[in-house]
Amino acid sequence: MEVRNFEPEDAENVSRLIVQNLRQVLTKAYPNEAMEALVPLFSPEKIIEASKRQVVLVGILEDALVGTATLDNDWVKNVFVDVARHRSGIGKKLMAAIEAYAQGQDLKKVYLMAAMPACGFYEKLGYTIVKRSERDLNGIVISEVQMEKVLPTMNGE
């Protein structure tokens, strides 16, 4: 799989990938209404706008966009993989690329807010739980977990 920087022509596919996960995966853990409240935040236009302020990476496999991950300062966001390809190593490769980029920016630590179903994935990658919190999405409260990871320094220490 190739991991590369997002380009504006990727926006439709990134939007579709994220919405697919919101509707097919996260609705198993959260109310459908809460996930539908998030859908407008991931329109192609909003993704292009965010890409001007954040580092957005995409995973390409056999000419198909199969995953995405974002770094906003020291916060990892919007890590999503094509539902049909979950548990195939794509998310792990995207996270490695995001962390490598963060290290190249001399970041010592990165943070993320994980949906409950994703906590085990991030723990396997070395993230630890900082705190649990709740967020209101259009009147529906969902649980999230703040996690962090100390990044090794470039010289391996």
The rounded distance, in Å, linking the Cα atoms of 157 and 153 is 5
Query: For the domain that residue 10 is a member of, what is the CATH number?
Result: 3.40.630.30
pTM reported for the whole predicted model: 0.92
Q: Which helix (H) or strand (E) holds 12?
A: helix 11-24
Is residue 134, in this structure, part of any structural domain at all?
no
Is residue 56, in this structure, part of any structural domain at all?
yes
Is residue 129, in this structure, part of any structural domain at all?
no
**pLDDT score at 96:** 98
Is residue 96, in this structure, part of any structural domain at all?
yes
Tally of structural domains, the chain: 1
**Could you list the residue range(s) of the whole structural domain that residue 75 is in?**
2-107
Question: Does the structure show a pLDDT above 70 at 154?
Answer: no
The rounded distance, in Å, linking the Cα atoms of 110 and 50 is 19
The rounded distance, in Å, linking the Cα atoms of 24 and 37 is 14
**pLDDT per residue over 8-62, tens digit each?**
999 999 999 999 999 999 988 888 888 998 999 999 999 999 999 999 999 999 9
Is residue 27, in this structure, part of any structural domain at all?
yes
Is residue 15, in this structure, part of any structural domain at all?
yes
Is residue 127, in this structure, part of any structural domain at all?
no
**pLDDT per residue over 70-102, tens digit each?**
999 999 999 999 999 999 999 999 999 999 999
Is residue 130, in this structure, part of any structural domain at all?
no
